[in-house]
Amino acid sequence: MLSMIKLTIPAHSALPWHVHPYPNAGYVLEGTLTIEDRQSGKKQTFHQGEAFAESVNDVHRGVTGDGQTVLLLTYAGSPGKPTSVPLPGQQKEY
């Protein structure tokens, strides 16, 4: 099953650390998003009009820049199962 969400993230925000149990891809409709990998410290920035794939079961988070960021996210998964799982003590991603 595929599901899609449109996610708007305010400027200068960091999403909680989380993992995705299913493959997913995103497209930046507006702004920029830097994806940070917790284990390696690697960062990769995506700008308006760019697409990205997120890793499965790797701890990461997204960080926005000077303006709000609007993403279109597509997840492959199973009905009734979460598409994003926060680390203990972290809030839900959305």
Token representation of residue 53:
């794939």
CATH of the domain at 48: 2.60.120.10
47-70 per-position pLDDT tens digit:
999 999 998 999 999 999 999 999
Task: Give CA–CA dist 38/60, Å, rounded.
Answer: 5
In a domain, 91, yes or no: no
Q: 73: Cβ–Cβ under 8 A, 6 or more apart, which residues?
A: 4, 5, 6, 7, 24, 25, 26, 27
Residue closest to 55 by CA, chosen among 33, 78, 79, 38: 38
The confidence band for 39, taking pLDDT boundaries of 50, 70 and 90, is: very high
What's the number of domains the chain is made of? 1
Find the domain containing 42 and state its range.
2-77
pLDDT, greater one: 75 or 94: 75
Q: Does the residue 39 lie in any domain?
A: yes
Q: Is residue 84 part of a domain?
A: no
Q: Please give the pLDDT value at position 9.
A: 97
Each residue's pLDDT tens digit, 20-32 = 999 999 999 999 9
Q: Is residue 86 part of a domain?
A: no
Q: In the prediction, which pLDDT does 55 show?
A: 85
